[in-house]
Amino acid sequence: STTTTTTTTTSTTTTTTTATTTTTTTTTTTTTTTTIAPVVAESANNDWVHGEADFSCTDVCAAVGGSCDANAMKNVNTIAELRFVVNQFANPPCNTFKMSSRITKQNLPASTTENMCKVSTRRIATCDAHKQGTGRYCCCGDYCPIKTSQLSTTTTTTTT
Q: Which of 48, 29, 28 is nearest to 40 (CA)?
A: 48
Coil, helix or strand at residue 35: strand
Strand partners, 42: 49
pLDDT of 82: 93
Q: Which of 69, 58, 55, 75 is nearest to 122 (CA)?
A: 75
pLDDT of 119: 92
Q: Which of 81, 50, 102 is nearest to 146 (CA)?
A: 81
Q: Please tell me the distance from the alpha carbon of residue 31 to that of residue 55, in angstroms, as a whole number.
A: 24
pLDDT of 155: 42
Q: Please tell me the distance from the alpha carbon of residue 20 to that of residue 1, in angstroms, as a whole number.
A: 52
pLDDT in tens, the chain (160 residues): 444 555 566 666 666 666 666 677 777 776 655 555 688 888 888 999 999 999 999 999 999 999 999 999 999 999 999 999 998 887 777 889 999 877 667 888 999 888 899 998 888 899 999 889 999 999 999 999 988 776 665 444 455 5
